[in-house]
Structures are given as C-alpha cells and as structure tokens.
Structure 1
Amino acid sequence: MKKTLVSLAAASLIVTSAMAADKGIDIVTTGQAVVYYETGSDNGKGDTSLFNQDNSVANVGVQLNLNADLKNNFTFGSQITYLGTAGLNRNLVGDTGVKQLGGSAPVTQEFGASKTTDDLALTKIFIAKKIGNTTVKIGRQELPKSLSPLAFTEGWNVFKNTFESILIVNSDIPNTTIVGAAVGASTKSAGNGLSEMSNLGVVTSTGKTQVAGSAYMLTVQNKSIPMTAITASYYNLSKVDGQAGSLVPNSDIGADAVWVDVKVAGKDLPMGLKVGLQAGSIMPESKLDTVKFANTTAFGAKIGLKPIDALTLCLAYTSVDGDKSKHNVAIVNTGGIKTPLYTQMVYNQDAISLDANTFMIKGVYNTGDYGKIIAQYAATSAGEKNRLNRNGEKTDYSEFDLIYKVKAGGIQYFAAWVNRSWSKVNSTIDKEDNQNKIRVWARYNF
C-alpha cells in the first residue's frame, strides 16, 4: 500500500471539480494486476480441443483503488480499471477471445485501431458518511452476498462487478446489523462486463428480462444466539419485464423476494461442525390473464466438518421448485449470473437455479505453504422447467471441479479443471453431452 499526498487541484480530476480547494488530502492507493486464461473442449462434432485458439479466452487487467478521508467522517472511494488482452488475442486466444470486457471489444487483426481509453472503466466512485453507528454510502460500489443475497458482487471473473446504490448500514441494536439499500443498476460479471452500467436482470424459464425500475432491499443480521448468525433479507423489484421487447412489454410487473440464511458454528462443536440452512422465495405479480408467473421457492442445507486440521469436508443439498403451468423465475443474482445457493460451483448456476434438486460434496485439503487442493462434485436432478433442459426433455446435470490455490511471492495463483456432463445430447448445436474447462489466473494485490 502506498500513501501519496495529492493537492485537491489534482484530486479533483478523480473526485469532482466542486471539491477543489487549496488544502491537501491523503489519497491511499491500492490495487491489483491480473492475468486470466480459460480454455475448453467437448465431445461434439466441431474442433473443440483444449488450448485451441478459438476455444480459449484471456484477459490482462490492472485495477487502481483511490481512497481518501475527507474529514468530518466523510470518506471517498474510486476505482479505475484497465481490462484488455495485452495482445494475447493475436496468438494465444481467438481474435475477440476475452472472458470479460472492460470498455470495448479488443482490437482485432482485421480492424487494427481503437482509442487508448476503450479498455478503461470507472468501476467504483462513492462518498460515505458515518453518523454515530450509521454509515451512508452513495455511489458505485460492491454489495456483499452475505448481506445482499439476491443482488451481490461476484468475484469469479477477472474483476468484480459493482452496483449503483444508496446503502445504509446501522449497528445501534446489540449484535444486530441492519442494512437498507436502493439499487438502480450494475456492471456485469459476464457478457459486456465492466463496459457499461445496465438494469438489474431477472432470469425466467423463458429467458432473462430486465428490472426497469429500482430494487429496494432491507436486511437484518442478528448474532444474539450463541454460535448462530441469522440473516433475513427482503427485496422489492419494480417494473420487472416492463421494457419494450420483453415477454410482457410495458406491463410493469413487480416482484417481492425474501431470503433467510442461518449459520451455526463454534469452537465448542465437535470436529469443527458447521451447519447452514437457507430458504427463500421470489413472488412476481401476475397482473395479466395472458401471462402468469409462479412463485419460486428454494431451500438449502449444508454440513461442514473438520476431521483433521488440514482437511475440511462439506455436504450440501438445495432444492428449487418449478411450476410447469406458469412462467417461473430462477434464483439468480439480479446483478450477475451466480446463485446464492449452497450448491453453487464453478459452472453449474444454470442447472441448479430453477426446478432442480442438487446434491454436492466438497473436500478442501490445506497443505500449508504449498496451497489448497479443492475437489467438489454436484449432481442435479432436473424438472420440466429447468433452465438446461435440452430438446424439450428433462436434462440432468453433473459437474466435477478440481481446484488448486496457492500464494507465492506475493502472487495468488489459481488453477481449475472442470468436467461437465448432461444426460441428454444437445441435438440443436453439435451433439455434445460432455465438456471440459481449464481456468488459470494469477493475481497480484498491492
């Protein structure tokens, strides 16, 4: 971490010209540099071998955080992100092969020109004020999954997504944290990624639709019961599916959602026992006779054990219902693509988030200085409204992930092999029912 004294005349380029003054402030700079690569193969008809350029994606990125204490309990934060390929799209991966976009698509060999600012994004900019035990934070910021389970920042890609939000956090009540938020838009963890702010999204059994209005959240987290943390969240989404071209254009359908998570853990429990329970429901309005939405209810449970110091085991189960006579809403992060479900793995979000029963087993072995080895397997039994059903038939899904993490020389390394299998062949594309992915990245935090 470096601390640099910068005059407000210069800091105003980052903050705003309205904040300019003769006094100086301390700008604390932190950040990270990342190299990210993924390749894949499947058993379909096409040329889909591992490390083939057309089946591979890569990114090189640098992220700089600039934070300041503005006095009188005001703080400021900003984050500038460069996300490009550093030329890897000309040899290692395909011409436009990126995992995440920063400002625009990379320069291709055919169209060899772009602006030097095209790969830059302002991914954070906020002002925060603390008043007693209450903090108010306004602007572009991250939202943690632990306090916002249906609109949260995801960390699986090159860089994290952020939200345009007004966030209020209060801790006046003993052992209790109360969080309120109004969320209007977000960057994306996939697709166009950090290149644009866009509406939150709701995933349905017929595809994804936008939340054209705001999302309002209230979360209460209480730790009064020994060894137990209870978190309950309520959301109100306005103007769901209300934009032109959607399933129900201009219908302004709303939706309410609730999510409860209970975690039990403590040093006095045998073998490092940890227990988790989660349950929730998304309840869309059904104003129109022609289009009916069903309430979607989800449940999950997990048990963790630590039989020896180096080994951690976990067994989890989740169930998300479906209604074959109505449209269904999936249990998915409205600001990304992942789920808050205990059985979330590297690639299985589409399989587990709607009309699905999923079992997962996971083991983590910590070798100490040589890093962690993670092996996890999940099997999903799909219903008629499952998002991965192929050719109009129920399609069960399984996934095995083998992951290695280690930190050496101040750099965090990650390597994963993912095997995905479907019970039905995809006859509409290339008749594949098995897929392999290899993902590696290196991340240096400074």
Structure 2
Amino acid sequence: MKLSRGTAPFLALLLATATYAVENVKVDGEAKLWYQTGNKSIDSFDMFRQESTVGQAALELGVKADLYSGLKGNVRGIVLDSLGLQDDYIQDISSAGAGYEHGSYYKTQIWISEANLDYKISNTSVIAGRQTLNTPLLFTERWNASYNTFDAVVVINNDIPKTTLVAGYVAQHNGGAHAGNATEIVAFPSTTMHSGEFYGFGSTYNGSRVTDGEKGAYFFGAMVKPIDKLVANLWYYDVNSIHKAYWVDAEYKISNLIFGVQNSGIDRALSSADDAMITAAMVGCTIDKLSVDVAYSTTDEGNAGTATIVNTATGDKSKVYTQSVFQDGAMVGTRDTTAWRVNAGYKFDPVKLSASVQNTKQDSSTSMKEGTEFDLIATANIAKLVDLTGMYIHRDVDMKTARDFQQNAVRLIASVKF
C-alpha cells in the first residue's frame, strides 16, 4: 500500500494525537459485491457471459474518534479484489482500472481513502487531509465499487444566519475516468485510479502511462436559505491554468411540489475554446409514497474545444437533473446537447422501485446523434445492515455515421454494513 505525499502528514498527526486521550471511538465498515453484464445489438456477445461482464469486490474499514475538545480524527481504508473471477466469470474490473501498472491490472488494491482532522470552533469548521467532497462540479462518486476522494483543506462557516459559506483547496485527487482497460473491452468508467494513486488536476494517462498535471484547485461556495422552503447555491471554481467555472442553482418547495433550476459554465484556459454553459429545470411532485419529476436541460453550441460540464474529478457523473445511468453527465453536459428525463418512484417498504425515461440529442457530436434510455431500479435495505440494488438499463442509440444500436445491461450490487 502506497501513501501519497498528501496523506502521510495527516496520518502522522492522527498517530501523534492518538497517544493522548481518545474518546468516542467508532469503528465501521462495509463489504460490497459489484456486478454488471450487458450486450449491444451490433456485437456478438450475449449477456451473462464472461466477455460481456465486469465485476469486483470491495471491503472498507473506518475509524472515527474525538481527539481533543472540538477536534475529531477520521481514517478509512479500502481493499479491492477481483476474487479471481476474471478466470471464468468477468472480463474486466468495474473500478480503479485507470493508470494500472504493467501486469498488475487484476492484483489486490489497497489504499487509504480518507485520513483527516476536523476541528470546530464556534461556527467554523476546518477539515484538513484526505476527504470526500460534495460540491456541484467537484464531488465524490459512490455508485461504483470504489469511491474517489481528495487531499484538501476545507473551511465551513455558519456565522451569517441562514447561510453556509465554504472555501477549499484541493492539492490532488484519485478520480479516474475511462480506464483504457487492459482487456480492451468497451471502456468502463473507472471512478478511481489504479491502487487509489493520487495526482494533480490536468493529469493524463493511457493505460499505465500517467503524467501528473500537478495542478491544484480552489473553490468557494455559498448555500443560502433566503426565505422558508427556498434554497439557493452559488459556487465558483478555479483549477489552476486549466479552467474557471461557476454553478448556480435554486429549489423551492411548496406543499407536495418542488421546482428547481440550474445553470453552470466553464471557461477553459484555451483561447481557441468557446465557453461552455448548461441550463436545466425540474418540476417534481410527491404524494405519499409516490414521487414523480420531469427535467429538461440544454447546453450552448460551443466549438470543438468547449469543455464538458461534469464532475471535474472523474469526467463522468453530474449533478444536472437530466443525467441517467449510462447517458450521464459526460453526455448531457456536452456542448450543443438537449436532454429530457421523466422519473417515477414508489416505496414498497423495504423496497423502493423507480423507473425513468431519458432522451439526449447531440447536434454537434461526431458520434452519437440521439439516444433514449430506460432505467428500472430496485433498492432495498434489510435490517439497516444489508443494501441490495438491482438495475435494468436499455438504450436505443442513433449514430451520426456508425451503425445504430440497442444496448441492454443488468447491474447488481450487494453490500453489508458493520
């Protein structure tokens, strides 16, 4: 297990403080099995065959403790393993494949996912070290077997009534986009780099060749509740020498209805690149155990150098209302794209079912012209210990020049918390 230059100092601090009085120690963990199989009408692969399947097992363990008055420590580690399933049952691992070392693709991966100190005084909290983030354009994704984290310092203040102010700096992160996997199967989102390796923003990789961009990122946010049931969020990002971005959203709840709007833009540090912008709106309704929402989004036309408005750490998921399972942020946030999504969910305790239809049109794309996706998702929590998720995904895709195709996939996730 390797320690990055950002993690080692905070582990040392945690060990040092542990020699003093430690209270309220809490140990928890989670074991997870992650499986997905699928096919395309233009391929010869069938579902539930090795050549069309990805999977992985994950084990996570964490410790939290009160170290001093107002000071808390948090350390979490994760282990990923294919369990030898690549021999007969899976073709690829589902996460942490990007930037793999030669000959080590399927090896057991272990890393420290979180190691931070959280100090609170009055209405201000300072979190320093390896941590998760949840901001509109820079956030931790938990949908995969592993989750990405950040070596960062974050300050949160609540002195102003009905307002939360946030400022942060990220030195490096371990988010990874498509893996360029060793098996050369259809590229699967990696979410994290192989063995959880951390790099600066602007890093590039192709298989095992990783070039560290060594760029940091600043972000500032304000979460405001100006009136009852209205919430507004304003965020600004500066990724050194790469891009500057903003995000604004607002949601208003009245009775059983919710209305939301989002707007975001990215200005790349390239004179030849047009600015990117996306605008989205959503209307939702909840009646007892039934929820329904409708959303629409559109992006500016831009040019070939225009950025995609998506999670900066992974280039994959998004907070935009219209993203779906496969047709996610990397699609709806692309230039000259319109998307709509209709979603309905119902709770049959302890099971929740949801079904959605999403359509994405990309007028300036050189590959996909239009795609329609149907998702059926079932989730269940048993005794607050076992979480089960089952998904069926179907896509009907029209391409610009390549062959049109239909795609089907089944995703199964089982986890036990302890």
Q: TM-score range by the shorter chain?
A: 0.7 to 0.9
In the alignment, which residue of structure 1 is the partner of 2:311? Answer: 333
Matched AA of 1:265: K
Matched AA of 2:167: G
In the alignment, which residue of structure 1 is the partner of 2:56? Answer: 59
Partner SS, residue 139 of structure 2: coil
Partner SS, residue 239 of structure 1: coil
**TM-aligned CA deviation for residue 154 of structure 1:** 1.0
1:198 aligns with 2:199: yes
1:273 to 257, 261, 264: 257
1:108-127 alignment runs, 5 A limit: 118-127=108-117
Does the aligned pair in 2 maintain the 1:100–1:194 contact within 8 Å?
no
**TM-aligned CA deviation for residue 20 of structure 1:** 5.8
Aligned in 2, Cα 1:259/1:420: closer, same or farther, shift over 3 Å? same
1:358 to 339, 348, 371: 339
1:36-435 alignment runs, 5 A limit: 36-44=34-42, 46-94=43-91, 97-101=92-96, 118-144=108-134, 148-188=135-175, 190-191=189-190, 192=193, 195-200=196-201, 212-240=214-242, 255-266=243-254, 269=255, 272-287=256-271, 292-306=272-286, 308-324=287-303, 327-336=305-314, 337-349=316-328, 350-354=330-334, 355-369=336-350, 371-384=351-364, 386=365, 389-390=366-367, 395-409=369-383, 410-424=385-399, 427=402, 431=403, 433-435=405-407
Aligned in 2, Cα 1:24/1:406: closer, same or farther, shift over 3 Å? closer
**Aligned positions, number:** 385
**TM-aligned CA deviation for residue 104 of structure 1:** 9.2
Does the aligned pair in 1 maintain the 2:171–2:215 contact within 8 Å?
yes
In the alignment, which residue of structure 2 is the partner of 1:251? Answer: none
**TM-aligned CA deviation for residue 90 of structure 1:** 2.5
For structure 1, the residue ranges without an aligned partner over 5 or more in a row are: 1-11, 204-208, 241-254
**TM-aligned CA deviation for residue 361 of structure 1:** 0.3
**TM-aligned CA deviation for residue 437 of structure 1:** 1.2
Does the aligned pair in 2 maintain the 1:418–1:438 contact within 8 Å?
yes
**TM-aligned CA deviation for residue 188 of structure 1:** 2.1
Distance 1:419 1:112 in 2: 29
Distance 1:418 1:184 in 2: 36
Matched AA of 1:238: N
Q: Which runs of 4+ in 1 moved over 6 A?
A: 102-108
| Bigger CA radius of gyration | 1
**TM-aligned CA deviation for residue 212 of structure 1:** 4.1
Matched AA of 2:413: W
Matched AA of 2:115: I
For structure 2, the residue ranges without an aligned partner over 5 or more in a row are: 1-9, 177-188, 205-210
Query: Which whole-Å deviations, capped at 9, do the CAs of 1:118-170 have from their partners, x for residues lacking one?
Result: 421111111111111000011110011xxx11101112111321111110000
Matched AA of 2:301: G
With normalisation by structure 1, the TM-score equals 0.80
Partner SS, residue 346 of structure 1: coil
Distance 1:258 1:344 in 2: 19
> What is the RMSD of the two structures over their aligned residues, measured on CA atoms?
2.8
**TM-aligned CA deviation for residue 19 of structure 1:** 3.9
Structure ranking higher in strand proportion: 2
**TM-aligned CA deviation for residue 21 of structure 1:** 3.0
Does the aligned pair in 2 maintain the 1:102–1:195 contact within 8 Å?
no
**TM-aligned CA deviation for residue 200 of structure 1:** 3.2
Matched AA of 2:416: Y
Matched AA of 1:342: Y
Aligned in 2, Cα 1:213/1:24: closer, same or farther, shift over 3 Å? closer
